[in-house]
């Protein structure tokens, strides 16, 4: 086995571990941040700051336009076009954040309660734009195989936010909390993205791109954007179903249970992101990567399922007897769904690599439809457990549809060459067009790099079709 393939395999575990560490650490430190804020600031101001920040995060996620999936899939093979693609994405996302933030600040619902001055309204679009670039930097770093940079960036911001709360304790209200969050996010993002660009320019300036044709790039991005729009429906709709059919108190029970399920889902997402990056690289040992993916996904699934089934009810009981009485069955059903959902996720991951996106999108739409419709029918009859049954039913239907395609896509993934064929890459004209813009980026001497990025272990050549 070649050195390149051994590194690809070991990097999968390393990068997945980094992304999981980032998710867990930021979750824990996030709780500590809000606890510190509650300790040193008036509760009303903390609540207002939380509403502003959560609104900004939601708008920032929309501003990213689902570019994260494309970065994770195609940055590993972007070669000298990497810096160009990164800068273009950051520019688009920044503008989108400004537009959405401006619209919300001046025309959004109940904004008079969120913003108490014109300064706060004007600053809000800047906050959204900053958080959008901050969020986009995660898949950028992941696509560049700098997953430990993701962990360092996110943990650094989480720690610095807590330090800022202690420094400015009692010196202001919501604007101090929101302002410190935004400024620190900008600073951390500048450092992380600046370092990534510097390394990219140094180590990839002579590496030819192996990107698919532009039409396929747009098709991939279109599917991912459409999927993100569809996926938003579930977290938006389920709480409304609970509130309208059962009441606000039951929504509190549901929120805690759903948050636990979502948090464990992030671990599965970390494994998937690391796999996409490694499997996208030219020359990767795909059979080995698939075996490693199955082992890691199985381990994460078992931990998540057992954690939900055993520890979930305990967490609910600690919060309150009403919580465990209302939601323990939901948590147990979701533990079973973790197993079914993991198989569906494996298909989605492989489909991205071999670019079989239509069935993936269709099944995702079907899963969302069954989940929402099932919850609407079952919640009035069996309570919060109905949501778990709806989710499990939706994923089971998806699994049944994907069983045979999963086998086919797995065979295609493991047997297809990792190197692109002549019909699978950019044309000469497309490369020249994108290179023309890339040349505007100044070249940084190699000595300026403080740490090496993974360089290719074989020479790359431009493979084109005419």
Spans of the chain, pLDDT less than 50: 1-6, 419, 421-466
Within 8 A by CB and 6+ apart from 248, the residues are none
Dihedral angle, C-alpha 213, 355, 81, 446, nearest 10 °:
-150
Q: Kindly provide the b/e burial profile for residues 254-264, where b requires at least 16 CB atoms within 10 angstroms of the residue's own CB.
A: bebbbebbeeb
> Do 371 and 391 touch, CB atoms closer than 8 A?
yes
What CA–CA distance (Å, rounded) separates 130 from 133?
5
What CA–CA distance (Å, rounded) separates 333 from 97?
38
Per-residue pLDDT, 430: 42
Per-residue pLDDT, 418: 53
What CA–CA distance (Å, rounded) separates 138 from 149?
9
Per-residue pLDDT, 417: 63
Taking only the tens place, the pLDDT of each residue in 2-39 is 444 445 557 788 888 898 888 888 888 887 888 788 78
> Do 281 and 2 touch, CB atoms closer than 8 A?
no
Domains of the chain, by residue range, sit at 1-211+422-453, 219-420
What CA–CA distance (Å, rounded) separates 101 from 114?
13
Within 8 A by CB and 6+ apart from 234, the residues are 368, 371, 372
Per-residue pLDDT, 369: 95
In this structure, the number of other CB atoms found within 10 A of the CB of residue 132 comes to 31
HEC letters along the chain: CCHHHHHHHHHHHHHHHHHHHHHHHHHHHHHHHHHHHHHHCCHHHHHHHHHHHHHHHHHHHHHCCCHHHHHHHHHHHCHHHHHHHHHHHHHHHHHHHHHHHHHHHHHCCCHHHHCCCHHHHHHHHHHHHHHHHHHHHHHHHHHCCCHHHHHHHHHHHHHHHHHHHHHCCCCCCHHHHHHHHHHHHHHHHHHHHHHHHHHHHHHHCCCCCCCCCHHHHHHHHHHHHHHHHHHHHHHHHHHHHHHHHCCHHHHHHHHHHHHHHHHHHHHHHHHHHHHHHHHHCCCCCHHHHHHHHHHHHHHHHHHHHHHHHHHHHHHHHHHCHHHHHHHHHHHHHHHHHHHHHHHHHHHHHHHHHHCCCHHHHHHHHHHHHHHHHHHHHHHHHHCCHHHHHHHHHHHHHHHHHHHHHHHHHHHHHHHCCCCCCCCCCCCHHHHHHHHHHHCCCCCCCHHHCCCCCCCCCCCCCCCCCC
Within 8 A by CB and 6+ apart from 43, the residues are none
Sign of CA dihedral 231, 62, 212, 8: negative
């Amino acid at each position: 086995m070649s050195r390149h393939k051994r590194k690809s395999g070991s990097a999968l575990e390393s990068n997945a571990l980094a992304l999981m560490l980032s998710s867990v650490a930021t979750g824990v430190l996030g709780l500590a941040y809000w606890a510190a804020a509650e300790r040193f600031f008036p509760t009303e101001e903390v609540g207002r700051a939380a509403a502003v920040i959560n609104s900004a995060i939601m708008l920032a996620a929309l501003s990213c336009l689902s570019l994260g999936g494309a970065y994770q899939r195609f940055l590993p093979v972007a070669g000298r076009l990497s810096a160009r693609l990164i800068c273009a994405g950051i520019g688009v996302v920044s503008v989108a954040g400004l537009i959405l933030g401006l619209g919300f600040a001046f025309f959004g619902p109940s904004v008079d309660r969120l913003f108490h001055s014109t300064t706060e309204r004007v600053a809000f679009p800047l906050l959204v734009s900053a958080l959008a670039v901050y969020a986009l930097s995660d898949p950028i770093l992941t696509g560049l195989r700098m997953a430990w940079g993701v962990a360092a960036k996110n943990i650094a911001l989480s720690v610095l936010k807590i330090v800022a709360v202690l420094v400015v304790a009692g010196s202001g209200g919501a604007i101090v909390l929101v302002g410190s969050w935004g400024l620190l996010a900008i600073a951390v993002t500048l450092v992380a993205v600046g370092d990534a660009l510097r390394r990219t320019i140094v180590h990839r300036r002579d590496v030819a791109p192996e990107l698919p044709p532009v039409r396929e790039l747009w098709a991939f991005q279109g599917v991912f954007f459409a999927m993100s729009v569809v996926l938003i429906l579930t977290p938006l709709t389920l709480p409304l179903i609970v509130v309208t059919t059962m009441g606000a108190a039951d929504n509190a029970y549901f929120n805690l249970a759903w948050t636990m399920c979502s948090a464990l889902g992030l671990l599965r997402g970390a494994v998937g992101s690391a796999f996409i990056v490694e499997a996208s690289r030219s020359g990767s040992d795909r059979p080995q990567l698939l075996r490693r993916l199955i082992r890691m996904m199985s381990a994460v699934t078992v931990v998540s399922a057992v954690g939900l089934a055993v520890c979930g009810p305990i967490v609910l009981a600690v919060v309150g007897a009403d919580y465990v009485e209302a939601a323990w069955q939901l948590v147990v059903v979701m533990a079973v769904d973790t197993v079914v959902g993991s198989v569906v996720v494996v298909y989605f991951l492989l489909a991205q690599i071999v670019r079989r996106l239509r069935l993936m999108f269709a099944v995702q739409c079907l899963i969302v439809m069954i989940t929402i419709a099932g919850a609407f029918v079952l919640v009035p009859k069996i309570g919060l457990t109905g949501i778990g049954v709806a989710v499990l039913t939706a994923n089971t239907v998806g699994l049944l549809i994907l069983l045979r395609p999963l086998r086919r896509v797995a065979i295609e993934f493991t047997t297809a060459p990792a190197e692109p064929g002549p019909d699978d890459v950019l044309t000469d004209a497309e490369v020249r067009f994108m290179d023309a813009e890339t040349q505007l980026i100044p070249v940084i001497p190699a000595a300026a790099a403080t740490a090496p990025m993974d360089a290719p272990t074989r020479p790359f050549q431009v493979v084109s079709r005419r």
